[in-house]
Structure 1
Amino acid sequence: MKVLYKPLGFVLSVLGGILASAVFDKVWAKLSGEREMPPPTSARHSTRQVVTAAALQGAIFGAVKAMVDRAGAKGYRKLTGIDPGK
């Protein structure tokens, strides 16, 4: 039964990535006034802007992944009685 969690975890990871991307886009637009994150090679943006954007993106993706993984594991455990983390 635990083997069923693997495909569920994969689907949740994909959905979490989509959610994290949407959250980051909104946060970055609000903070910077720009629609997109500056590319690392951009001469138009400062190093501070590029590094800040990358750090913020990593933090948001990490937090959303943890929340989605946690919710998926709790839901799976509730439905099956099996802990997917063991």
Structure 2
Amino acid sequence: MKLFRILAICSFMLCTLAGIQHAQAQPAQTQVEYSSAPATTEVEMADTLRQDGKIYVVVIVLLTILAGLIIYLIMLDRKVSKLEKQFKE
């Protein structure tokens, strides 16, 4: 039960961070324009990775790491629960 609370909190934090990053990614409407620096809103690295198809590799690696962490937490929670039961007896 504790693990589900931890996973719920982690998923809430991930959603919150994703929302914050999405809000920051949108260009701000400012009245001050800089003549020396061109206004670029596109990220070259992301476009390059998308064009080459390597963005999928990045996503798969991140999902693999996340899945490994979740599996590790589940296994650890089971071990701790088993030890708690042994300690109470």
TM-score by length of 1: 0.46
Mark the structure with the bigger radius of gyration.
2
- Greater length-normalized contact order (CA 8 Å, ≥ 6 residues apart): 2
TM-score by length of 2: 0.44
